[in-house]
Structure 1
Amino acid sequence: IAPGVNSSVFGSDAIAHNEQATYQLIEERFQRDISESRRNLPAILASSRLDPKKNLLGLVQAFANDVIVQQKANVVLITGGLDNPLQEKVQDQQTEKLVIGPIREVVREKNLWGKISAFSVPDQPALAASYRYFAQRGSVFTLTSLFEPFGLAPLEAAAAGLPIVVTKNSGISESLKVGDEDYGMLVDPNDPADIARGIREILCDQHLWQRLHKRCQQYVLEYYTWDSTAFNYLSRIKQIVSEPSANPAAELLPIHSYFRDPQPENDISLEELSDWYFA
């Protein structure tokens, strides 16, 4: 059962307690990081843990190697707890060495200063407000992880109105194509050129941006909210309760008396447990 999005927080009509303060924060960070002539461009947005597996480096490389993408948008990295990591050395050595350091090197080598911004926002409502801010400016959300079991962040971004560009190596990838309907752009995270292609196709086609913006938002709000997740869990529980014979575990895995009454006389060794359940 898929996790759900809190639509009261991430919905495009929601208003966070710090909505305007978040908008002001973004504009201040743009004044700090983005060239004045580029501040009204859309954003290529990413928000994730600073983990090598999240492949933020691949996203920046894709941007660095595609002139058209650079002309169309800036890169914005929302980095939890780090307000200026591209200009200031990160205290955590692993994060500095494996994530921020390599990104900073690409920015230097390709002279991307003025085209990329990295900063933190204070809480989840501010993150949702950030998504709404960038959706209003024709931006895209990206998740370019090398592998992602499911990936709730793109669904939250989509609920706020952002078209999404997502790694094909994720549990969510199967959900983004139903029959002939596409709800997002899938890319190969190991290929910066393919990441750039997915971003470029959306940014260069206003009709496609509008279609994915509306289609994916409606899809998420219909199938991936907290209400839909709760409904699916409840349906499954009712099925198990009403059809105990349909649950093989009830027949194959008896409960030892120790787990019903953990007294010394009912004690069981690890070897006995292994024989009990795995023999």
Structure 2
Amino acid sequence: EEPTYQLVEERLARDIAESRRHLPVILASSRLDPKKNLLGLVQAFAQSPTLQEKANIVLITGGLDNALKEPAKDEPTEKMVLAPIREVVQNHDLWGKISAFSVPDQPALAATYRYLAKRRSVFTLTALYEPFGLAPLEAAAAGLPVVATKNGGLTESLQEGGKKYGVLIDPEDNADIARGLEQLLCDDQEWEKYAQGAQQRVLNCYTWEATATNYLKAIEKALNSSEATQPAELLPIHPYFLNPQPETDISLEELSNLYFS
């Protein structure tokens, strides 16, 4: 853990003003893709004096170790993401409040999450849409509370039966992004509630052990159902699928008649 902690401290010392280095961070870790909406996050930060007072921003940026200050290395997609972010940082004088760097691998990323959780930081995913959302669950497992997009799978993983395990926001509304972040950064009790709740949620429902247990329950339920005890009428297997030869070939029309008529 210590080498990663040292790396994070060095990058914060490089990018964050000395008077602000004690603050927690708003952490985002995703590929540099416009759909991940990192620009919306930075705009929300720029438009919220409260967020700027309470925290800095840290972007984990893949293989780019100084992404905001090394534009010559950008790939085309990365330029689409980073150029407007740099413009917002410049126009709103956010230098000294934002850091962007890379970590070498997944264990180092997990260690980064744990280190920043100790500083009462917040993980955020402001993607326009996220089908499942693994990164927020990984961050939650490390002790970080989560503010995430309401569009996609996180509406299921971060809430159930009226209970919320993360703060869901509208990623196309910068004011709502700021609201969600302020909810956790401005209230210690809220931070504790969501940090503990999300971590327990992941440990209970999203480990490999929990996944295997749920699969086993589903299989046992299927085997024990009344339908499973009834002998099924099997469809015939055409000779072509047992011995694919020209003489056993079958047309699409014949297949359709065999299986769908």
Q: Do the two structures share a fold, i.e. TM-score over 0.5?
A: yes
Greater RCO, CA 8 A, separation 6+: 1
Moved more, 220-229 or 267-276: 267-276
Q: Which structure's CA Rg is the greater one?
A: 2
* Structure 2 counterpart of 1:206, one-letter code: D
Relative distance call for 1:207 and 1:264 in structure 2 (3 A) is: same
Report SS of the residue matched to 2:100: strand
- Corresponding position of 1:173: 155
SS at match of 1:46: strand
Q: Distance in 2 between matches of 1:156 and 1:239?
A: 30
Equivalent residues of 1:166, 1:173 under 8 A apart: no
Equivalents in 2 of 1:35, 1:167: separation in Å?
A: 29
CA distance in 1, matches of 2:251, 2:55: 62
- 1:114 CA displacement: 0.6
CA contact (8 A) 2:33 2:77 kept: no
Please name the residue that 2:76 is paired with.
93
SS of residue in 2 equivalent to 1:25: helix
Counterpart check, 1:42 vs 2:24: yes
Q: CA deviation at 1:242?
A: 5.5
SS of the equivalent of 1:127 reads helix
Which residue of 133, 138, 152 maps to 2:120? 138
Determine whether 1:189 maps to 2:163: no
Q: Distance in 2 between matches of 1:251 and 1:110?
A: 69
Shift of 1:132: 0.1
Task: Return the alpha-carbon distance in structure 1 between the equivalents of residues 169 and 235 of structure 2.
Answer: 42
Give how far 1:262 is off. Answer: 3.2
What is the identity, as a one-letter code, of the residue corresponding to 1:32? R
> What root-mean-square deviation, in Å, do the aligned CA atoms of Structure 1 and Structure 2 show?
2.3
Q: Whole-Å Cα distance in 1 between the matches of residues 75 and 182 of structure 2?
A: 34
1:233 match: 215
List structure 1 segments (4+ residues) > 6 angstroms apart after TM superposition. Answer: 250-254
Match of residue 199 from structure 1: 181
The structural deviation recorded for 1:256 is 4.3
- State which of 137, 151, 167 in structure 2 corresponds to 1:155: 137
Is the 1:63–1:69 Cα contact (8 Å) retained in structure 2?
A: yes
User: Judging changes above 3 Å, is the alpha-carbon distance between structure 1 residues 203 and 252 closer, same or farther for their aligned structure 2 residues?
Assistant: farther
1:277 to 1:88, Cα distance in 2 relative to 1, 3 A: farther
Change (3 A) 1:234 1:35: same
Change (3 A) 1:32 1:237: same
Conserved? CA contact 2:26–2:58, under 8 Å: yes
Distance in 1 separating the partners of 2:223 and 2:175? 50
Which residue of 98, 103, 107 corresponds with 2:85?
103
Which residue is 1:15 aligned to? Answer: none
Q: Select which of 103, 107, 124 maps to 2:106.
A: 124
What is the rounded CA distance, in whole Å, between the counterparts of 2:224 and 2:130 in structure 1? 34
d(CA) in 2 for partners of 1:95, 1:213: 31
Indicate yes or no: 2:131 matched with 1:164: no
Give the secondary-structure state (helix, strand or coil) at the position aligned to 1:111: coil
> In percent, how many aligned pairs have the same letter?
65
**C-alpha displacement of 1:152:** 1.0
How has the CA–CA distance of structure 1 residues 237 and 105 changed in structure 2, closer, same or farther, with 3 Å as cutoff? same
Tell me if structure 2 keeps the 8 A contact 1:165–1:186: yes
Q: TM-score, normalised by structure 1?
A: 0.85
1:265 is displaced (CA, Å) by: 3.4
**Structure 1: 5+ residue runs without aligned partners?**
1-18
| Partner Cα distance (1:257, 1:244) in 2 | 32
Q: Which runs of 5+ in 2 are unaligned?
A: none
Match of 2:60 in 1: 78
Shift of 1:271: 5.4
**2:27 match: secondary structure:** strand
Greater CA deviation, 82-91 or 124-133? 82-91
SS at match of 2:58: strand
